[in-house]
Amino acid sequence: MKTLKIKIATLSLALATLSILGSGCNSLTKTQKGAAIGAGAGGTLGAFIGKAAGNTALGAIIGGAVGGTAGAFIGRNMDRQAAEIKQTVPGATVTREGEGILVKFDSGILFDTDKADLKPAAQANLQNLANSLQKNLNTNILIVGHTDDTGSDAHNMDLSVRRAESVKSYIVADNVSASRLTTSGKGESEPIADNTTVAGRAQNRRVEIVIVANDQMKQQAKQAAQ
């Protein structure tokens, strides 16, 4: 019974946090929202919220949040890097979320249909992204591959993994430390659009690159907040 009560309380707090962020905080900046997430929910609950939403990329950002003044410090660093990526990587959609950055590539920009070999245009985009990652060393990067629901689950999972690994390999070849990068393939399991339409399937075929603070930046942020 005690465990059940704790779970109910945790869920209630998660829902309340989501409600506040979704409606009452529309006037806040991305940096302020990042601070609110960390301070109001905490890293563990933040990870729960992201996972519950079925979004690996968002879960990684929220789950790593430190919140408070330190979170705002991290957010300012991410603001600067996000602005830089927007200017130098025209093939990507760049979004500031909480204390991190989400860089999304439609798979048509990166790969031919059902392939995991990078197209020439993709290489130019990823090289520019790698340049930014080289200049901003105190971050970790998660690369998440996604597909539409055409084909078998097993094939789509394998394709999403190979595409994420292909992106990682190219970035590492551009002198970004492999220790900073991890990959994940989600196959067709995390759609963001309707798989019954051509346009929806095109949106679901994507690679998401998540940029978050590493331990060193978090430590610097906590020191600056003292």
Give the tens place of pLDDT for each residue, 125-180.
999 999 999 999 999 999 999 999 999 999 999 999 999 999 999 999 999 999 99
pLDDT tens track for 211-224: 999 999 999 999 98
Q: Identify the CA nearest to 122 among candidates 163, 65, 75.
A: 163
Q: Average pLDDT for residues 50-71, to the nearest whole number?
A: 82
Task: Kindly report, residue by residue over 43-52, the tens digit of the pLDDT.
Answer: 444 444 544 4
47, 14 Cβ separation under 8 angstroms: no
pTM given for the model: 0.78
Determine whether domain 2-225 maps to CATH 3.30.1330.60: yes
32/98 Cα distance (integer angstroms)? 8
The answer to whether the beta carbons of residues 83 and 94 sit under 8 Å apart is no
| Mean local confidence (pLDDT), 1-22 | 40
How far is it, in rounded angstroms, from Cα 14 to Cα 43? 12
66 pLDDT more than 70: yes
Distances (CA, A) of 22 to 10, 15, 51: 18, 10, 17
Element (H, E) at 103: strand 100-106
